[in-house]
Amino acid sequence: MNKDYAERHIIREITPLSDKDCFYIVDRHKKEFTYPIHCHKEFELNFIEHGTGLRRIVGDSVETVAEYDLVLITSADLEHVWEQADCHSEDIREITIQFSPHFFDSLIDTNQFDRVKTMLNHAQNGLCFPLPAIMKIYALLDTLPETKGFYAVTQFLTLLYELSFFIDSAHKLSSSSFAKVEIQANSRRVQRIQQYINDHYQEEIRLNQLAGMVGMSAVAFSRFFKLRTGKVLSDYIIDIRLGHASRLLVDSTMSVAEICYECGFNNLSNFNRIFKKKKNCSPKEFRENYCKKKIVI
């Protein structure tokens, strides 16, 4: 990985949030999105209304936005951008709230804040909320830009707390391997397997080998792993490898072929086919889509 290459092509945004503010909020009405892909140390909650057809990139996740979109990002190094793509709305509303990771320092480990803490942890991958969650907090979000002082803070905390009830229905955007987020399962056996895959994704990984590590038969382990992770083992391994491959496409000048073999794929055409199936674009297109939205600073 070429760190200098990555640093030349990623905007590290300096937000207007001051040390004396709890959060910074901006409410915009616009016809187009032109800001390049970027990242920043502040946490961000971004809401889009009338955005049908926008393309949202968060890490290695590329999705088309519907009428409403609400995303929480809590990683300092997770690149993200909303692109115009096929959106033709004449009045797109965007509400962006940025707040310091230290905003909750005195609350983060309290019992009353446990749900919000879990949500913030999940949002290291980028967390997209479903429509029922948006409808639940819409009134709070809609009036927050006009609310001042102490009441704005309590309203914002209430908004986050209400969102925390939708953790199970919200979906993570970027893969953990791309976002460099440590995966933490509830089961120690699953944690052991996940750690092994993270450490050995470049090598051949066999089902019988992993099953033996946790003292289970291959059939029993397959069922157990899917139950605990929601993914078939082979798909899980592919997702880990694709996350690392996507990161190298963004952060290095390695060729697609070099990245293919570096990330544990042993066939270039197979790598291209799987990548396009999962990402809806080829590895080359994925790299170009990132680079065309980045500028040197």
Per-residue pLDDT tens, the chain, 297 aa: give them. 444 444 445 566 666 777 778 899 999 999 999 888 888 889 999 999 999 999 999 999 989 999 999 999 999 889 999 999 999 999 999 999 999 888 888 787 888 899 999 999 999 999 999 999 999 999 999 999 999 999 999 999 999 999 999 999 999 999 988 988 877 667 888 989 999 999 999 999 999 999 999 999 999 999 999 998 888 999 999 999 999 999 999 889 999 999 999 999 999 999 999 999 998 899 999 998 877 654 433
Residue type at position 17:
L
Supply the pLDDT for residue 9.
52
Q: Where are the domains of the chain?
A: 3-174, 183-291
Q: Can you name the CATH fold of 183-291?
A: Arc Repressor Mutant, subunit A (1.10.10)
Supply the pLDDT for residue 6.
45
Supply the pLDDT for residue 5.
42
Supply the pLDDT for residue 288.
85
**CATH dotted code for 3-174:** 2.60.120.10
Tell me the three state secondary structure of residue 40. Answer: coil
Q: How many CB atoms lie within 10 A of CB 101?
A: 14
Supply the pLDDT for residue 219.
94
Tell me the three state secondary structure of residue 215. Answer: coil
Three-state SS across 252-294? CCCCHHHHHHHCCCCCHHHHHHHHHHHHCCCHHHHHHHHHCCC
Tell me the three state secondary structure of residue 211. Answer: helix
Query: How much is the pTM?
Result: 0.82
Supply the pLDDT for residue 228.
87
